[in-house]
Structure 1
Amino acid sequence: MRYLSKERRKFIRTDRRIVQTVRHYGPLSRAELARRLDLSKPTVSVTVESLLQQGMLHEVGRGQLKCCPKFGPPQERDRGV
């Protein structure tokens, strides 16, 4: 079994927290995510950049982040939003 470093586990948890928060509250800015999750702005920016590259989030409007449809709430996935 392969073990993940403590830093990598923390990064994965941060990814998950950010995606869950955006799914729950809808489009949010990086600054708002940092406030809601009590994370530093640089941590949020680095994590969000990774999530954007993976296609798990996308930007809408003026710096607002939104989950991609396949990761969004069920009603959005069903409508194809």
Structure 2
Amino acid sequence: MLKRIMGLALNRAPLRQYYLEIGAYLLKKGSNVEIGQILKVKNVKPGVQQVKVVTEMYFSFHDNKITHRTGTRVLRK
């Protein structure tokens, strides 16, 4: 976070960009999951697993909640 703020200061970014970077940092820190985190594992065959992975996170201003979307991926050994 500090590197981003220093980069913005050195490049003389507008104040709005500072607010966007700080807001994005706080949203990521306040959520209970990370993008790419595996939520559920299901063994399909020996050596093949079907997993649910967090693919997207967003903030709903109407509900005042951080929510996420998941996608299904297949992992092979």
Q: Same fold (TM over 0.5)?
A: no
Name the structure with the higher helix share: 1
TM-score norm. by structure 1 comes to 0.27
Name the structure with the higher strand share: 2
Say which structure, 1 or 2, has more relative contact order (CA 8 Å, 6+ apart). 1
Work out which of the two has the higher radius of gyration on C-alpha atoms and give 1 or 2.
2
